[in-house]
Amino acid sequence: MAPKLVILDRDGVINQDSDDYVKSLDEWIPYPSSIAAIARLSQNGWQVAVATNQSGIARGYYDEATLSAMHQRMLSLVEDAGGHIDHIAYCPHVSEDGCHCRKPLPGLLEEIRDTLGLDSLEGSWMVGDSLRDLQAGNVAGCRPVLVRTGKGERTLIKHPELEEEIDPTLILDDLAAFVDWLLGENTA
């Protein structure tokens, strides 16, 4: 049986993204509909985890304390909305570091699997706005979801094959639309 788990990319899915990086608490601007969507998942028995590349740390744009403050704000907003995020996994590296955690590699998802005590992520969901999110999810056995927020529209322009019927990627406007779809599908 597939775990009731949704793994979310952060920037562009939960909060607004920036080509110049989200470098401070003031720049971390959540999509209100995403906070409510995460709460709805929790309230309906789903575990929620976040897998986020944060190379801005390695680039010196912000430090781990700043990242922690952003994540504390996110956790507080979700809890205030009646939800819960079970784990946040982040990669502080740049590609040249040769780490195992930077998406599209599956290290962050494996961390989530191990932290949550799951045997497998097979059949769980990976929601992102970039090809690397979908690729990491595919390697880990997750069902891929691309949202059009953040870099999602650019991803579709660069990779029109994602919209072909043979591709298993579910494409929706935003996280709230995915949660509407998911809860509708699983309560029918």
Active site residues: 9, 11
Q: Please tell me the distance from the alpha carbon of residue 29 to that of residue 46, in angstroms, as a whole number.
A: 24
Distance CA 139, CA 91 (A): 17
Cβ density class 91-102: b for 16+ within 10 Å, e for less: bbbeeeeeeebb
CA–CA separation, 146 and 125 (whole Å) = 11
Residue 30: other Cβ atoms inside 10 A: 17
Angle separating helix axes 64-80 and 32-43, nearest 10 degrees = 60
Identity of residue 175:
L
Pair 47, 4: CB distance under 8 Å: yes
Q: How far apart are CA 69 and CA 75, in angstroms?
A: 10
